């Protein structure tokens, strides 16, 4: 398949119908007013989990009114069709039907997927950035949960996003490279990925990571799309690139196993249960399916 032909298609965690309404975060009167509006809807988030209502292969978020929502730190997620949406960080009921993004992300509609990703990302940031990195004082939350301010030095701190490249590498015979990390069970494989280092371009990060992990030089990196992956704060930037050779030299600290697959070899390995590819919710899955040329029929339940 000519990678110049197309796009990755639906990236399930990149969907959203919400206007983030950044200008309204600065208006405390508006924030207070909509919080007391019974039409406002609230998503309760706890360690990346939220309440869901399942129906066959679909799911919906369970959204509460502000009066029904538990006490907790609240974050403005945005506005859609005149309705304001917040998330609240609070404990979920012990008997609740809850799910995380990996489990529910592919089952939700566009609005709910966007709300859930946003809420998970904000919760993770607040949980790990309570204190000022300059003086150690505990910071206060402002602007609808999108800024933390140090009471001592007045410094402002914003939600952090860590860019990571994720790349499908093809060899001169148009085979795809899949690899397994040392911590993964046998049969679980994915495309390569790695974080962008300070002062580094995306293309340079791609070439460095591939060479470090499997000893392959690459050329012609082509950006295809991106998807948030808030575990805890990554933004996955998807690429295709061309390997200049098929010889592999693995870094055992990073890669336990790597091999090249033709399309037929991949199809057979998945069908026999010998290979577990990433799930539909992951950008890795979309990269593989774009190269493969169609959807892959499997029961994958992991990914990045």
| Per-residue pLDDT tens digits for 44-66 | 999 999 999 999 989 999 999 99
Q: Rounded distance, CA 242 to CA 210, Å?
A: 11
For the chain, the farthest-separated pair of C-alpha atoms sits apart, in whole angstroms, at 63
Question: Average pLDDT for residues 113-134, to the nearest whole number?
Answer: 97
CB contact at 8 A, 143 and 27: no
The pLDDT of residue 2 is 40
The CATH class that applies to domain 22-128 reads: alpha beta
Q: What is the pLDDT of residues 207-230, one digit of tens each?
A: 999 999 999 999 999 999 999 999
Tell me whether domains 22-128 and 162-292 share a fold.
Answer: yes
pTM higher than 0.75 for the full model?
yes
Q: What is the CATH number of domain 162-292?
A: 3.90.79.10
Domains of the chain, by residue range, sit at: 22-128, 162-292
Q: What is the pLDDT of residues 233-268, one digit of tens each?
A: 999 999 999 999 999 999 999 999 999 999 999 999
Q: Rounded distance, CA 201 to CA 204, Å?
A: 5
């Amino acid at each position: 398949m000519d990678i110049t032909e197309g796009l990755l298609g639906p990236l399930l965690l990149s969907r959203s119908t919400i206007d983030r309404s950044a200008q309204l975060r600065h208006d405390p009167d508006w924030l207070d007013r909509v919080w007391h509006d019974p039409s406002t809807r609230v998503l309760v988030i706890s360690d990346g989990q939220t309440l869901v209502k399942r129906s066959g292969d679909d799911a919906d978020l369970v959204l509460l009114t502000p009066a029904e929502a538990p006490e907790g730190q609240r974050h403005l997620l945005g506005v859609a069709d005149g309705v304001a949406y917040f998330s609240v960080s609070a404990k979920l009921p012990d008997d609740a039907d809850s799910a995380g993004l990996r489990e529910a992300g592919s089952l939700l509609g566009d609005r709910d997927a966007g709300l859930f990703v946003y809420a998970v990302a904000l919760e993770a940031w607040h949980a790990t950035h309570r204190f000022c990195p300059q003086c150690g004082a505990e910071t206060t939350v402002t602007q609808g949960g999108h800024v933390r301010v140090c009471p001592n030095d007045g410094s402002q701190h914003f939600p952090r996003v860590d860019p990571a490249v994720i790349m499908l590498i093809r060899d001169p015979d148009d085979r795809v490279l899949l690899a397994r990390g040392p911590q993964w069970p046998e049969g679980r494989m994915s495309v390569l990925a790695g974080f962008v280092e300070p002062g580094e371009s995306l293309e340079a990060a791609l070439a460095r990571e591939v060479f470090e992990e499997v000893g392959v030089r690459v050329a012609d990196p082509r950006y295809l799309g991106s998807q948030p992956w808030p575990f805890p704060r990554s933004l996955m930037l998807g690429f295709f690139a061309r390997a200049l050779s098929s010889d592999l030299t693995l870094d055992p600290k990073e890669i336990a196993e790597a091999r090249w697959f033709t399309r037929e070899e991949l199809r057979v390995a998945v069908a026999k249960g010998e290979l577990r590819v990433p799930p539909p919710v992951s950008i890795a899955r979309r990269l593989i399916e774009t190269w493969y040329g169609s959807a892959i029929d499997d029961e994958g339940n992991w990914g990045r």
